[in-house]
Amino acid sequence: MMPMIHTPLVTLSEAKGLATIARQALAVVRFFASLRMTLFATLLFVSASSFAQVSVTATVDRNRIAFGESLTFTITAHGTQTAPSVSIPKVDGLAFAGPAVNTSMSIVNGAVSQSVGLAYQVTPSRTGEFVIPAIEVKVGNQLHRTAPIKIVVEKMSTPTDLSQQVVLRVQTASQQVYLGQIAPLNVLIFARADVPLKGFSAYNCEADGLGYKYIPNIRTATHVQDGVSYNVFIIEGVIAPTRTGKLSFGPCVVKGQLAVERRGRPVDIFERFFGREEIREVPFTMDAVPIEVLPLPTEGRPADFSGAVGQWNLEVTAKPFEVNVGDPITLTIKVSGAGNIDLVPPPTLSGLDEFKTYDPTTKTTKNDLNSEGERVIQQVLVPKSAGVKRLPDVRLCYFDPVAKQYKTATHPPLQINVKPGAGGHATIVSGGLRLRPEEKLGHDIVYLKGSPGPVALVFPPTAFWALNLVPVFALLGAMAWKRRSDKLRSDIAFARRSRAARNARKLLATASTPDTLQHALQTYLGDHFNIPSAGITAAIVEERGLPATVREVFEACDAARFAGVPLDVAAVKQKVEQVIDELENASS
């Protein structure tokens, strides 16, 4: 007989203890697994950083100072987190103090950018011109060399010459353009990095005969010249000359918004938090730039040239390819490219004798500057006989201003199969057009009457006149809608002002913080006055003669953002609504 084995029972308290130990062990395992993944990601980041392309630049915050002042000289290694090794050479008359190390890293759309900078304070011991020579910089195992920088030390401090700190330049591919050409022309505003430029409130350029058009949204970039960093503001535009001859673009004026220190006023409680700064408008100007507009050459001009200027592509499709006699074929022609699409005529179709044609339908799209566009033309063709084997040739003649010659875009004829049609029936053509069947003589002919018979005066019913007036009112409505649509496309200020209240109220409906409330008011004022919204502050009250409510909203939002003062959101919303109503009523 086998002996019985008794297994000891586990008490409830012991079971709970074992469960606790198991949970703790599982937590430890998860912690080390997470730590391992973190270390792995860090190693990947470090390895990726080690293979990043490293570049080195040297800049100064300004290259012209007064004796007794100092400037900042910075050597920056881009694409690494390793501090560069630098040996600053001795420069007679200049003393270098530092460096102060600063690092930065940013991730934009998954792309990591990082840099390390060494900042030196440079103090001159005398006046004159100095050159900080090229400096060898070692980053890891790589050796780089900076460009020399020239600086000027003057005897005494002179008033700030903004004309040297903010400069306007014209950027264009050529100062010679052709009549009918749309040529890109950008205005670049170079502002030294230390200029406290907050935005722009007005922009105007004289461009008589050039058909100048620009986008109000300003792009930004950075530029380094002679070791000095500049912020670049780009106003993208085009010119479309309307006459030939020697014309000029400019002069131009841009009103910049500069942050300057308040003077001559006591410091109030808000200035303790916000600083003693205010926004002032300063005009910056640019001299006129000559532009020569050439006529289109007569040499080599094709006989079927109709005025298209640009670089154009031609695409042709058709459907169906197999039809009966009398059935319609839709030929679709797409013209796309760079230039004024409004000047592009419908392409020429050759060999239309074998087809019955109808008026084509067109659809045109173009970008904001009208410098690129696309036109889709649909032409209905009805073959007259079963012997038709192909569709007409398609040709478009245009002048290419870049190649300075005439070109012809062609598309070979498309093959089709036309079968004999079944007689006795009408064919419906897309677009509401209808082909009439062949009429047999001797049927349904009304005989000639010898006398007109009794004559009665019949008045049409009221509904008849009402139905005849419907197309008239529809045409008037369409004309009004078309006129407004054209104005919205051509008049940027009118378009922004038209949607100002609607856009602001949408933002105001969801606004619940000082930032969003202030953004709603800035958006409305920017659209209403056609000025950049980002740079609008309380100073606009005096500039535009606005109600004091505008200043109250800005001050309340600023106090809540920077001083922690409680904000009554409902009251501020009501004030913004009041401002919108007052300005809309005043402009109506």
- Same domain for 149 and 180, yes or no, is no
Model confidence at 1, pLDDT cuts 50, 70, 90, reads: very low
Is 149 within a domain?
Answer: yes
- Same domain for 78 and 125, yes or no, is yes
CATH number at residue 197: 2.60.40.10
Q: Which pLDDT does position 134 carry in this prediction?
A: 92
- Same domain for 273 and 332, yes or no, is no
- Please report, as a single letter, which amino acid is at residue 54: V
- Same domain for 180 and 289, yes or no, is yes
Q: What is the pTM of this model?
A: 0.51
Is 13 within a domain?
Answer: no
The model's pLDDT over 40-75, given as tens digits with 9 standing for 90+, comes to 555 444 444 444 588 889 999 888 888 778 888 999
Residue 268 has pLDDT above 60, yes or no: no
- Same domain for 544 and 572, yes or no, is yes
- Same domain for 414 and 520, yes or no, is no
Provide the token pair at 433: 């057009």
Range with the poorest average pLDDT among 124-138, 202-216, 467-481, 509-523: 467-481
Q: Which residue, of 105, 122, 154, is where some domain finishes?
A: 154
Greater confidence, 563 or 515?
515
Q: Which pLDDT does position 396 carry in this prediction?
A: 93
First-to-last alpha carbon distance for the chain, in angstroms, is: 111
Residue 29 has pLDDT above 90, yes or no: no
- Same domain for 127 and 199, yes or no, is no
- Please report, as a single letter, which amino acid is at residue 195: V
Domain count, the chain: 4
Provide the token pair at 511: 């606004």
Q: Which pLDDT does position 263 carry in this prediction?
A: 53
Mean pLDDT of 561-576: 82
Is 554 within a domain?
Answer: yes
Provide the token pair at 264: 């001559």
Mean pLDDT of 146-155: 89
pLDDT mean across residues, the chain: 80
Greater confidence, 326 or 454?
326
Mean pLDDT of 242-246: 92
- Please report, as a single letter, which amino acid is at residue 520: A
Q: Which residue, of 294, 327, 359, is where some domain finishes?
A: 294
CA atoms within 13 A on the CB side of 263: 4
Is 484 within a domain?
Answer: no
Burial class (CB in 10 A: 0-12, 13-18, 19+), 462: exposed
Strand ranges inside 446-538, DSSP E:
none
> Residue 513: helix, strand or coil by DSSP?
coil
Model confidence at 476, pLDDT cuts 50, 70, 90, reads: confident
Crossing angle (nearest 10°) for helices 462-490 and 492-510 = 90
**Kind and range of the H or E run holding 573:** helix 569-587
Q: Which pLDDT does position 538 carry in this prediction?
A: 78
Q: Which residue, of 294, 322, 342, is where some domain finishes?
A: 294
Find the length of the chain: 588
CA atoms within 13 A on the CB side of 80: 18
> Residue 432: helix, strand or coil by DSSP?
coil
* Beta strands 64-66 and 149-154, pairing class: parallel
The model's pLDDT over 431-465, given as tens digits with 9 standing for 90+, comes to 444 443 444 444 445 555 555 666 555 556 777 77
Q: Which pLDDT does position 98 carry in this prediction?
A: 82
Model confidence at 7, pLDDT cuts 50, 70, 90, reads: very low
Model confidence at 269, pLDDT cuts 50, 70, 90, reads: very low
Is 150 within a domain?
Answer: yes
> Residue 383: helix, strand or coil by DSSP?
strand
Greater confidence, 467 or 318?
318
Distance CA 408, CA 339 (A): 15
Residue 409 has pLDDT above 50, yes or no: yes
* Residue in 309, 393, 409, 404 with CA at minimum distance from that of residue 349: 393
- Same domain for 428 and 328, yes or no, is yes
Chain-centre distance for alpha carbon 534: 16
Is 475 within a domain?
Answer: no
- Same domain for 408 and 513, yes or no, is no
User: Residues 6 or more apart from 452 whose CB is under 8 A from it?
Assistant: none
Q: Which pLDDT does position 425 carry in this prediction?
A: 45
- Same domain for 337 and 400, yes or no, is yes
Is 166 within a domain?
Answer: yes
Greater confidence, 365 or 107?
365
User: Residues 6 or more apart from 577 whose CB is under 8 A from it?
Assistant: 505, 508
How would you label 15-50 residue by residue, b for 16+ Cβ within 10 Å and e otherwise? Answer: eeeeeeeeeeeeeeeeeeeeeeeeeeeeeeeeeebe
Angstrom distances, CA of residue 23 to CA of 18, 30, 31, 266, 516: 9, 11, 12, 66, 47
User: Residues 6 or more apart from 100 whose CB is under 8 A from it?
Assistant: 118, 119
DSSP percent split of the chain into helix, strand, coil, nearest 5: 25, 40, 35
- Same domain for 266 and 367, yes or no, is no
* Residue in 253, 259, 260 with CA at minimum distance from that of residue 284: 253
Provide the token pair at 317: 């499709």
**Which structural domain, as residue segments, surrounds residue 405?**
310-435
CB 240 within 8 A of CB 210: yes
- Same domain for 170 and 147, yes or no, is no
